[in-house]
Chains A and B, each alone.
Chain A
Amino acid sequence: MSGGLAIAVRVSRIDTVAANIKRFRLVRHDGEPLPVFSAGAHVIVSMDDDGHRRRNPYSLMSAPHDTSGYDISVLRVAESRGGSAFLHEKLREGDALTISHPVNLFHADKRGRKHILLAGGIGITPFLAMMAEFDRANVAFELHYAMRSREHGAYWQELVERYGAHRVKRYFSAENDVLPVASLLHNQPLGTHAYVCGPDRMTDFVLRTARECGWPKSNVHSERFLAPISGKAFDAELLRSGIVVRVGDHESILEAVEAAGIDAPYMCRGGACGQCETAVVACNGVLAHHDVYLSEEEKASGRKVMICVSRFDGTKLSLDL
Chain B
Amino acid sequence: MLVEGIKSRPVYGGIAIDPFARRHIFALEGEGALALLDQKPALTATMLNRSEVLYVAAGPKGLDHDLALAALKPDRFWQGPTIETLLFRLRGSLSAATMSTRLYISGREGFIGQCMQVATDMGMDFSSIPTEHRGSLARRVQCVHCKGITDDVRTSPFKCSHCGLNLLVRDHYSRRLGAFQGVNVDAEEPGTAPQAEELFA
List residues of chain B with CB within 8 A of the CB of A185: 99
Interface contacts (Cβ under 8 Å), in number, total 59
**Which 6 pairs across A and B sit closest by C-beta, in order of nearness?**
A191-B123, A216-B128, A214-B100, A214-B21, A218-B125, A190-B123
Question: Once bound together, how far apart are the Cα atoms of A113 and B102, in whole Å?
Answer: 17
Interchain CB contact under 8 A, B20 and A218: no
Interface size grouping (class) on chain A? 20 to 34
Q: Which of A159-202 contact B (CB under 8 A)?
A: 185-192
- On whether the beta carbons of B20 and A211 are closer than 8 Å, the reply is yes
Given A189-B98, A219-B99, A111:B125 Cβ within 8 A = yes
Quick one: which of A109, A112, A188, A217 contacts B98, CB cutoff 8 A?
A188
Contacts of A215 in B (CB 8 A): 99-100
Q: Which residue of B lies closest to A188 (CB)?
A: B99
Q: Is the CB of A212 within 8 A of B99?
A: no
Residues of A within 8 A of B97 (CB): 189-190
The answer for the CA separation of A113 and B98 in the assembled complex, in Å, is 13
Inter-chain contacts of A189 with B (CB < 8 A): 97-99, 123
Give Cα distance in the complex from A214 to B128, angstroms.
Answer: 11
Do B125 and A187 touch across chains, with their CB atoms under 8 A apart? no
The CA-CA distance from A44 to B150 in the complex, in Å, is 53
With A and B bound together, what is the CA distance between A218 and B100 in angstroms?
13
**How distant is the Cα of A212 from the Cα of B18 in the complex, in angstroms?**
10
Specify which chain A residues have a CB less than 8 angstroms from the CB of B122 in the assembled complex: 190-191
A183 to chain B, nearest CB (A): 13
Residues of chain A within 8 A (CB-CB) of B154 are none
Tell me whether A213 is interfacial, beta carbon within 8 Å.
Answer: yes
How many Å lie between the Cα of A219 and that of B128 in the bound state?
A: 8
A190 adjacent to B98 (CB under 8 Å):
yes
> Quick check: A213 and B128 within 8 Å, CB to CB?
no
Complex CA–CA separation, A306 to B144 (angstroms) = 47
Residues of B contacting A192 with CB < 8 Å? 99, 123
Q: List 11 A-B contacts (CB under 8 A).
A: A111-B123, A111-B125, A188-B99, A190-B98, A192-B123, A211-B20, A213-B20, A213-B99, A213-B100, A214-B100, A215-B99
CB pair A187–B98 under 8 Å, yes or no, is yes
A residues in contact with B128, CB < 8 Å: 216-219
In the complex, what distance in Å separates the CA atom of A109 from the CA atom of B127?
13
Q: Which residues from B are CB-within-8-Å of A216? A: 18, 99, 102, 125, 127-128
Query: Is residue B48 contacting chain A, with contact meaning CB distance below 8 A?
Result: no
A189-B127 Cα distance, complex, nearest whole Å: 17
CA distance A217 to B130 in the complex (A): 12
A190 touches B124 (CB 8 A): yes
Tell me the residues in window 90-105 of chain B with beta carbons closer than 8 Å to chain A beta carbons. 94, 97-102
Question: Can you name the residue of chain A whose Cβ is closest to the Cβ of B97?
Answer: A190
When C-beta atoms are compared, the residue in chain A nearest to B128 turns out to be: A216
B185 to chain A, nearest CB (A): 36
For residue B89, CB closer than 8 A to chain A, the reply is no
- Give per-residue flags for A72-114: 1 if the beta carbon is below 8 A from chain B beta carbons, else 0: 0000000000000000000000000000000000000101110
Interface string of B101-124 (1 = CB under 8 A from A): 110000000000000000000111
* Interface flag for B65 (CB, 8 Å): no
Q: Does B159 contact A (CB under 8 A)?
A: no
Minimum CB–CB distance for A189 against chain B, Å? 6
Q: How far is the CA of A191 from the CA of B125 in the complex (A)?
A: 7
Chain A CB within 8 A of B22 CB: yes
> In the assembled complex, which residues on chain B have CB atoms less than 8 Å from the CB atom of A186?
98, 100
- Given A190-B94, A219-B128 in contact, is the A214-B101 Cβ separation under 8 Å? yes
Q: Would you give the shortest CB distance from B23 to chain A, in whole angstroms?
A: 8
A166 to chain B, nearest CB (A): 20
Across-interface contacts of B124 in A (CB, < 8 A): 190-191
Q: Please report the C-alpha to C-alpha distance between residue A192 and residue B100 in the assembled complex, in whole angstroms.
A: 11
Q: Using Cβ atoms and an 8 Å threshold, which residues of chain A touch B125? A: 109, 111, 216, 218-219
Of the listed residues A186, A190, A217, the one surrounded by the most CB atoms of chain B closer than 10 A to its CB is: A190
Contact B94 A214 (CB under 8 A): no
Specify the chain B residue showing the minimal Cβ separation from A215. B99
CA distance A18 to B3 in the complex (A): 62
Question: Are A214 and B99 closer than 8 Å at their CB atoms?
Answer: yes
Question: Besides A189-B97, A213-B22, 18 other CB < 8 A contacts?
Answer: A111-B123, A185-B99, A188-B98, A189-B123, A190-B94, A190-B99, A190-B101, A191-B123, A211-B20, A215-B99, A215-B100, A216-B18, A216-B125, A216-B127, A216-B128, A217-B128, A219-B125, A219-B128
In the assembled complex, how far is the CB of residue A275 from the closest CB belonging to chain B, in whole angstroms?
A: 24
CB pair B18–A214 under 8 Å, yes or no, is yes
**1/0 per residue A215-239: CB within 8 Å of B?**
1111100000000000000000000
Known: A190-B97, A219-B128. A214 touches B102 (CB 8 A): yes
- A187 / chain B contacts, CB cutoff of 8 Å: 98, 100
